Each structure stands twice: as C-alpha cells, then as structure tokens.
C-alpha cells in the first residue's frame, strides 16, 4: 500500500492545488525554521523588572518566594487560603487518601458569591465599581459592588422561585454582558452549578452540553451584537431546548430589543422575573469540596468533558494567582478580553477580579469595530491598568499596524497578560513595545480549564524571556518528561506534567470519573498529564510548543479533532474524515480536513461550501476551517484509527516519525 495521502482524482484542479500545496509546505517550513531561531535568540535575552514595578510588587523577592513555596506547597496554599472568608475553617489542608480524587480544605465552609460580593459590602467598599460594561454599538453600563450585590440577590430569589436548589445545574448561554456575571453569582450563592456555554456555539453543541449536565433552567438573551450584526441567540437556544427534556424554564435577558418567539409556558423575561424581588438573599453554606460549577471543554473524543471545580479550592487558587500575577492592590481596572464562556472568563473576568474587590471590564463585541483601534480606545477611556488578552488578538492588532495603539494615551496600563496559546517571540515583542511602551511586564500565563488558575507564569517581579511562560507559579511543581514519565534534559521536548496538587485543580468530569482518571492520571501515574508538549531551557524557563494530543487550538479556542470529524460525517457525502491543525499567522492554527467521499459524490466547490455549513451548524463559528481536501485514503493504524500525526507531518513536509503502526 502506498503511504501517501493520495489527492483524489475527484479534486478538480489537481495541478494547481499540488503547486499551492508545495508552496504552503515551503512557507510552513520557513516559518518553523524562523520560529526555532527566534526562540533560541529569545531564550538568551532577559527582561528584568523595572524599579517602578518592583516598588509596587506584591511579591518583591521572586526567587525567595519560589523557594519557600517549593519547600512546603501545602503550607503555601494554606497561607493563601487566609485571603478568603470562611464560615468555618478546615480540619485538614489536603486529603490524598483517594488518589487522584484529591480534596482541599477538608471540613471548611464558605460561599463563592459571598466572597465576591457580600464581604466587600461588609468591609465598606460597596461604592466601588465592580463591573464596567460597553458593547460594540457604544452602549455602557456600570455596577458598584452594592448594586451588583442587590441584582444578584434579586436573581437568587427569582431562581429559587423557579425551583433552583443547591446542586442543580443551570445552563447559561449569554453574551459578554453583566447578566452573565449576575447569573453565575446567583447560582453560586444558591449553591447551584452553572454551566456556561460560549454564545458562539451552535444549537447542537449547546444541546449536547445541556443534556450532559441535565440542566433544568436555561438562561439566554434575545440576541447579541457581533461585528455590526445581531446574533439571534434566542432562536438558537429554542432549537437546542427542543432536544433537551431536562429544561423546564428558559429565562430571557432583553439585550437588544429583538423580536423573539416566546413560549409563554416555558419562557420568562429576566426583567419580569426580578421585578419585585427582595434585594437580600440567603447564602448557602457550601462545603469546601462541594462542586462550584461545571464547564465543558473539548477532549480527544467527540463528547466534551464537563470539568468540575470545587468551591473552596477554586477560590483560593484564583484569588492568589490574580493578586500576584497582576499585582493587585484593590483599586485596579482590569480588562480580560476573553468570554465568560471559557475558563479564562470564569476565573479572570468574573470570579478573580470580584474576589479581589477590583473593577472588571466587560466588552461585548469584536476588538476592531468600528475601527482597528477599538481596543486601545477602551483602554484610554476607562484607564485600564491591566490588559489580559490572547495571542491571536495581539497578532491581529499587530497586523493592523503600530499607528493604531500609538493614537491613544495608554499610560494607565501597568501590566499586560496573555493566555490560550503560545505567544510567539515576535508577537511578544510587539505587545511589549507598542502596547506596553517597554514599561509593562508581560505575564504569559499557561494554564487550562482543568487547572482553574494560572500554573506556569511569571510574576511582575520576575525576569522575562520573549515567548516563554517562564516558571511555575509558587506552590506548583511542573516538569517535562518522556512517554515513560522520566524527566528529560534541558532543551529537550517532552510532555508537560504537574507533580504536586493545587487547590483549584479539577475534581472530576461530570458523571464520568473514569474518564477523569484515564485522561489525566493513568498514562503517567502520580503526575497530572496536561496533554501539552513543551521544553525547559537551561535557566529552567518553560517554552510551550502546543498540544501533544488530538486537541486543536483555533484562535485560542479549544476544539477536539474528533468533534470536527464527527461534524463532517453528518453530511451524507462524507464517509470518513481526518482533521488536523495547520499553522496560521494570526489564529495560531486553523483546521484542515481530509475527507473521503461516498461513491457518487464529487468534490466540488459547491460541496465544500455545503460541508463548511454543516460543520458550522454542528459546532458554531469556533471551528474555523482553513481548507478541505478530498482524498481516496487516510493513513490508519491496524485497528482503523486515523493517524492524524502522519497526516500533519505530510501536510507540513515534516518527518513522519514512527510509522510502524501504519497500514494504509
């Protein structure tokens, strides 16, 4: 059998596409080579913290803090837990008796919403701004801590009237608006688990997640604004709910006065629901180990994983990291450009800033509307102190040109952050020079939905290297190992693992503890397997190279190859699909699909369009398909598993590695 993926004779323009492919491979190879040299050069230059930054830093002696925490991480996290208000403190810090189901702060009682709101009111800072909001069209809103506290309480009482109780699941399918924060906090106050689903997901993806969690309530909106258009969220939600028996009521936020279908028995307007509610509400006394929320993320199968975080530990991890990584002192305006539907939004738009009592900025819309300086305009307008964003956005902004950030006064900026995918040295330097004006340190934070909080990241007082996530956060022990779990030498690539436990670690996968054990703890017993590949340089700095499994990172969004493949197979023309990620200068990666067509179908441009629509319908706009190729064969193992690694190597013209398992 020939080993190559044979371009199909059904492909209309074989010669042209072969040329194009060769050109692309050449480009990718050059990009790769450049990247490697860049990384090597960056590994040498060290950016030291300025005197100004050191003067303000919460952690002044970085090395000493790392060393002390490493000696006794449990003690470090116990100290950190003192920043939280507990109704009852713990009998034991960490329970390892049922590995890998670790437990933190055993016997302690607390509440997430209480820590994010009530305690600030009690401390007399209720007048401080909690949320600043702006949307693409220029509408604005503002909530003080006291106002937010009252809104949350009203919604707590309303949800209780709808029958929501501790432990129930509530699905939230909302854009980046204050009601998202209010809904999440209201669930937390009751002790119900929210399951926020990114509002860019399709009806099918939303339905899958609602069904898995058996949510009894869905909170959505009439619509949301995106790139000048209204996204009709309610009709997407309606389609999803049709497939979900568990949903009894749908709460609808009026966000843009859209006309929507309304099922009078099932649907209720948010504003009607909260109208006459009391502004005081009872706080559930949660056990530290009670589940706080479920958040679905993509894995290596088509079924997303419902990651569960626990109340006490999640709070401790998120508060300590936001305070130290972004050097918070209580009065900052913090802008995290993620969406609340991802873990970054949970931890660093909503919970982290509110736990820390600072001001969080929410922006509903795209960063380049009406002009490419929208993001810089917002920073100037609200005097943002900390900007926490993603490499894909940084690269897109760099492409628009240096003149756009230069138009705005951004003196308020003190610290910059990045998350979601590798920030290449070139983009790092652009961010440092043109946004931070060479005075704002960049916190490139490596972490995951499963870790709940930053894991490998600098602190403002730490030395930096462009393109490196530097070193583990104090109290975290990470390393690079080979496939047998043996530590590898400096400079050698391998699997990124975490050797100890941390408070905000995922507790399990909803309704699937076996999958939790198998995915993260079985292959290398004793370690948490992150699924990423990385290397450590001679100074102990970590360099993330990407996912080592079948998970893609498209513009920082996590998506499983299996999910995309099963979306393609929904179309009657497709018998088999193999999907890989290929490098993209802005999005990091885009999807390339190799499809085998059923007899009688021809690989036309028309069919490509239809297939793109099928995937979009199944998954939503998160799945950016860069290219589709129609092929006659896919490289497979004897057991019939598609070898995506081989597909990728062939596409990029790289060595195929061990192909002994390959049969076709």
Residue ranges in contact with ligand PRX by CB under 6 A = 297, 342-344, 418-422, 444-449, 469, 530-532, 544, 547, 553, 558
Cα gap 116→602, rounded to integer Å: 57
Query: 207 is written with which tokens?
Result: 């339905």
If the CB atoms of residues 253 and 442 are measured against ligand PRX, the closer one turns out to be 442
| Shortest separation between residue 187's beta carbon and ligand PRX, angstroms | 21
H-state helical runs in 387-530: 391-400, 403-406, 425-430, 513-520
Cα gap 180→457, rounded to integer Å: 28
If the CB atoms of residues 418 and 566 are measured against ligand PRX, the closer one turns out to be 418
If the CB atoms of residues 49 and 417 are measured against ligand PRX, the closer one turns out to be 417
Longest CA–CA span in the chain (Å) reads 75
Q: Are 164 and 328 in contact (CB under 8 A)?
A: no
| Shortest separation between residue 532's beta carbon and ligand PRX, angstroms | 5
| Shortest separation between residue 451's beta carbon and ligand PRX, angstroms | 8
| Shortest separation between residue 498's beta carbon and ligand PRX, angstroms | 12
| Shortest separation between residue 159's beta carbon and ligand PRX, angstroms | 28
**Closest to 215 (Cα-Cα) out of 264, 261, 262, 249:** 249
The three-state secondary structure class of 143 is strand
SS (H, E, C) 510-542: CCCHHHHHHHHCCCCCCCEEEEEEEEECCCCCE
Q: In what order do the strands lie in the sheet with 588-597?
A: 574-584, 588-597, 625-630
- Within 10 A of 653 (CB to CB), how many other CB atoms are there? 14
β-pairing, 103-106 vs 92-95, is antiparallel
Before 370, cis peptide (omega within 30)?
Answer: yes
| Shortest separation between residue 342's beta carbon and ligand PRX, angstroms | 6
| Shortest separation between residue 212's beta carbon and ligand PRX, angstroms | 17
Q: Are 610 and 571 in contact (CB under 8 A)?
A: yes
If the CB atoms of residues 396 and 469 are measured against ligand PRX, the closer one turns out to be 469
If the CB atoms of residues 11 and 532 are measured against ligand PRX, the closer one turns out to be 532
If the CB atoms of residues 315 and 443 are measured against ligand PRX, the closer one turns out to be 443
If the CB atoms of residues 200 and 531 are measured against ligand PRX, the closer one turns out to be 531
Q: Is the dihedral of CA 70, 73, 77, 79 positive or negative?
A: negative
Residue whose pair of structure tokens reads 């913090």 in the numeric block: 334
If the CB atoms of residues 268 and 394 are measured against ligand PRX, the closer one turns out to be 394
If the CB atoms of residues 131 and 343 are measured against ligand PRX, the closer one turns out to be 343
| Shortest separation between residue 32's beta carbon and ligand PRX, angstroms | 17
Query: 492 is written with which tokens?
Result: 């050698």
């Amino acid at each position: 059998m020939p080993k190559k993926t044979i371009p199909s004779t059904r492909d209309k323009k074989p010669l042209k596409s072969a040329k194009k492919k060769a050109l692309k491979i050449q480009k990718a190879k050059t990009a790769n080579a450049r990247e490697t040299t860049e990384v090597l050069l960056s590994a040498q230059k060290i950016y030291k913290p300025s005197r100004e930054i050191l003067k303000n830093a919460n952690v002044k002696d970085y090395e000493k803090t790392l060393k002390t925490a490493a000696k006794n991480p449990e003690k470090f996290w116990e100290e950190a837990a003192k920043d939280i208000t507990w109704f009852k403190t713990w009998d034991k810090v960490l329970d390892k008796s049922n590995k890998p189901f670790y437990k933190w702060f055993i016997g302690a009682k607390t509440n997430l919403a209480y820590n994010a709101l009530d305690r600030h009111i009690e401390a007399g800072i209720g007048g401080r701004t909690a949320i600043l909001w702006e949307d693409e069209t220029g509408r604005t809103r503002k909530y003080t801590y006291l106002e937010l506290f009252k809104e949350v309480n009203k919604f707590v009482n309303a949800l209780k009237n709808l029958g929501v109780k501790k432990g129930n699941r509530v699905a939230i399918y909302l854009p980046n608006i204050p009601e998202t924060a209010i809904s999440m906090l209201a669930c937390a106050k009751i002790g119900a688990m929210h399951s926020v689903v990114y509002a860019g997901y399709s009806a099918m993806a939303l339905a899958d997640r609602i069904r898995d969690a058996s949510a009894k309530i869905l909170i959505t909106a009439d619509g949301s604004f995106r790139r000048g258009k209204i996204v009709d969220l309610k009709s997407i939600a309606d389609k999803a709910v049709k497939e979900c028996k568990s949903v009894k009521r749908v709460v609808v936020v009026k966000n843009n006065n859209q006309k929507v279908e309304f099922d009078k028995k099932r649907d209720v307007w948010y504003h009607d629901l909260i109208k006459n509610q009391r502004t005081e509400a009872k706080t559930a006394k949660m056990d530290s180990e009670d589940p706080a929320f479920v958040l679905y993320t993509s894995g290596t199968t088509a079924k997303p994983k419902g990651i569960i975080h626990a109340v006490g530990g999640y709070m401790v991890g998120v508060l300590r990291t936001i305070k130290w990584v972004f050097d918070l002192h209580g009065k900052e305006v913090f802008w995290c450009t993620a969406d609340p539907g991802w873990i970054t939004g949970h931890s660093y738009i909503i919970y982290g800033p509110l736990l820390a009592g600072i001001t969080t900025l929410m922006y509903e819309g795209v960063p380049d509307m009406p002009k490419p300086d929208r993001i810089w305009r917002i920073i100037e307008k609200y005097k943002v102190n900390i900007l926490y964003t993603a490499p894909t956005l940084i690269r897109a902004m760099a492409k628009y040109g240096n003149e756009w950030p230069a138009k705005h006064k951004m003196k308020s900026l003190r610290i910059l952050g990045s998350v979601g995918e590798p920030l290449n040295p070139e983009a790092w330097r652009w961010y440092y020079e043109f946004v931070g004006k060479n005075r704002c340190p960049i916190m490139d934070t490596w972490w995951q939905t499963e870790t709940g909080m930053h894991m490998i990241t600098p602190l403002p007082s730490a030395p930096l290297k462009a393109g490196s996530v530097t070193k583990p956060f104090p109290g975290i022990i990470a390393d690079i190992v080979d496939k047998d779990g043996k530590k590898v030498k400096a400079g050698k690539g391998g699997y990124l693992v975490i050797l100890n436990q941390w408070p905000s670690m995922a507790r399990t996968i909803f309704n699937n503890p076996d999958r939790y054990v198998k995915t993260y703890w079985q292959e290398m017993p004793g370690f948490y397997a992150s699924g990423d590949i990385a290397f450590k340089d001679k100074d102990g700095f970590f360099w993330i190279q990407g996912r080592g499994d079948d998970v893609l990172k498209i513009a920082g969004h996590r998506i499983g190859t299996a999910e995309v493949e099963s979306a393609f197979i929904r179309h009657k023309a497709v018998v088999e699909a193999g999907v890989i990620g290929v490098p993209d200068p802005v999005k990091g990666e885009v999807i390339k699909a190799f499809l085998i067509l059923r007899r009688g179908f021809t690989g036309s441009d028309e069919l490509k369009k239809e297939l793109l629509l099928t995937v979009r319908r199944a998954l939503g706009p998160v799945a950016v398909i860069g290219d589709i190729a129609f092929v006659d064969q896919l490289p497979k193992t004897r057991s019939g598993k598609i070898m995506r690694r081989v597909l990728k190597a062939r596409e990029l013209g790289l060595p195929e590695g061990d192909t002994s398992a390959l049969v076709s």
